[in-house]
Amino acid sequence: MNHRTQVGIVGAGPAGLFLSCLLARAGIDSIVLENRSRDYVENRIRAGVLEQGTVDLLNEAGLGARMRREGLAHAGIEIRFDGRGHRIDFRALTGKAITVYGQHELVKDLIAARLAEGRPLHFEVSDVAVEGFDAGAPLIRYKNDGESNEIACDFIAGCDGFHGICRPSVPQGVLTMYERSYPFAWMGILAEAPPASKELIYAHHERGFALLSMRSPTLSRLYVQCGPADDPVQWPDERIWDELQRRAATSDGRFRVRQGAVLQKGITPMRSFVAEPMQCGRLFLAGDAAHIVPPTGAKGMNLAVADVHYLAQALTAYYRSGAMDLLEGYSARCLRRAWKAQRFSWWMTTMLHRHPEDSPFDQRRQLAELEYLTGSEAAMRSLAENYVGLPLE
């Protein structure tokens, strides 16, 4: 079956769905394809920290009603080391805040908005292929319920993640890949337990890093640093709770991590990745298809939202006036933001984690950096500015 649209979107994660909503509001037609089921994408637990700019964009697009009701606004975070907590006050330092709202909840909102408008959104498609984007005639092939389909379009948005098909479809030699792997990972759990703190706690400890986060007033999202080759079998619930308590302990012995039933468990690898440029002909990459950041800085989903904000602006300008300048400058615009996010995420990661190769000198230097950070208003402001999100261009 043959179809025609203005923008073909591959991937129904936050990037692809938000782009489809922004385009619809500009009167631009699109078709969204996703190889997973609706249930899978709506329940896949991922990031949960929204920058101030991301919150503002969702509200401006009319997509923030449930987020405003159920999201948890946080005006700071705590950095904990040597048994002492140090609060970074975002509101006082920047006048901004973050919102804790799970990625899967945002995806539910975006899917609901898409379907309410009656716009095409196809789940569980297979054999997706993108062609012709470098020759001015973009085409997407796929199968749906065993039937072969083609979508002829003006542009293709590759929002299908790090393991998707769009980036590998770019001809060899066009893209340059920049990568870094870290010698540790995160063992993460989603637990049916009230959060141990009103705000996120980033804990540096001689046993390794720990992060105490949340998804709601009754659900905690918790992580401990582990080895990159570890298996979840090596981490029974009792071990995880023990390590969380040890690593987040305060010197007065009063702090307690609240425990509950473990609903999900998994290991998150730590890596940095950037593909340059983020476009080839009429194919535009966005989100994890173009870049991956370590989760320490809470930048992944926010970068995806920024990417498609820029892409929607560029496509809107094209369809209104034929102007190509924003489309031609899309990659450079996104990459300026992506590399700043990479820098911040790398800095947070290296400052807070124990590195297997570190000498006693390195460990003392790391503590000195944490002391400087939490004792300098200028240093705290720098962290706060990056964490709540740098201004959108």
**Residue 87 is assigned to a structural domain of this protein:** no
142, 202, 310, 318: the catalytic one is 202
User: For residue 1, is pLDDT > 90?
Assistant: no
pLDDT band at 361 (very low <50, low <70, confident <90, very high): very high
101, 223, 310, 387: the catalytic one is 387
Residues 366, 309 share a domain: no
Give this prediction's pTM: 0.95
The CATH number for 371's domain is: 3.30.9.10
Average pLDDT for 95-112: 96
Average pLDDT for 201-222: 95
Residues 110, 44 share a domain: yes
Residue 207 has what pLDDT? 96
pLDDT band at 257 (very low <50, low <70, confident <90, very high): very high
Residue 46 has what pLDDT? 78
- Kindly report, residue by residue over 25-47, the tens digit of the pLDDT: 999 999 999 999 999 999 887 77
Residues 30, 126 share a domain: yes
Q: In what order do the strands lie in the sheet with 121-122?
A: 121-122, 30-33, 7-10, 155-158, 283-285, 279-280
Q: What is the largest CA-CA distance in the chain?
A: 68
Q: Write out the H or E segment, with its range, that includes residue 225.
A: strand 219-226
**Residue 39 is assigned to a structural domain of this protein:** yes
96, 104, 299, 309: the catalytic one is 299
Torsion of CA 310, 273, 52, 15, to 10 degrees: 50
Give 393 or 108, the one with higher predicted confidence. 108
| Active site (annotated) includes residue 228 | no
Rounded-to-integer distance, Cα 35 and Cα 151, Å: 16
Average pLDDT for 376-393: 96
Average pLDDT for 160-181: 97
Residues 146, 30 share a domain: yes
**Residue 82 is assigned to a structural domain of this protein:** no
User: For residue 351, is pLDDT > 90?
Assistant: yes
Residues 311, 198 share a domain: no
Number of domains in the chain: 2
**Residue 51 is assigned to a structural domain of this protein:** yes
Residue 292 has what pLDDT? 97
How open is the CA angle 341-159-182, to the nearest 5 degrees? 40
**Residue 285 is assigned to a structural domain of this protein:** yes
Q: Write out the H or E segment, with its range, that includes residue 346.
A: helix 330-352
Average pLDDT for 102-106: 93
User: For residue 317, is pLDDT > 80?
Assistant: yes
**Residue 86 is assigned to a structural domain of this protein:** no
| Active site (annotated) includes residue 74 | yes
Residues 59, 155 share a domain: yes
| Active site (annotated) includes residue 299 | yes
14, 74, 294, 330: the catalytic one is 74
**Residue 92 is assigned to a structural domain of this protein:** no
User: For residue 326, is pLDDT > 80?
Assistant: yes
The CATH number for 157's domain is: 3.50.50.60
Residues 146, 131 share a domain: yes
- Kindly report, residue by residue over 55-74, the tens digit of the pLDDT: 999 999 999 999 999 999 99
Residues 232, 145 share a domain: no
Cβ neighbours for 375, distance < 8 A, ≥ 6 positions apart: none
Residues 276, 265 share a domain: no
Residues 239, 151 share a domain: no
pLDDT band at 282 (very low <50, low <70, confident <90, very high): very high
Residues 151, 3: contact at Cβ < 8 Å? yes
User: For residue 96, is pLDDT > 90?
Assistant: yes
> Which tokens go with 289?
């298809």
295, 310, 318, 353: the catalytic one is 295
**Residue 361 is assigned to a structural domain of this protein:** yes
pLDDT band at 281 (very low <50, low <70, confident <90, very high): very high
Residue with tokens 């031609």: 328
Rounded-to-integer distance, Cα 349 and Cα 270, Å: 9
Residues 279, 255 share a domain: no
Of all residues in the chain, the percent with pLDDT exceeding 70 is 100
Average pLDDT, the chain: 96
Residue 155 has what pLDDT? 98
Residue 45 has what pLDDT? 77
Host domain of residue 27: 2-75+97-178+271-347
Residues 279, 143 share a domain: yes
Of all residues in the chain, the percent with pLDDT exceeding 90 is 97
Residue 44 has what pLDDT? 84
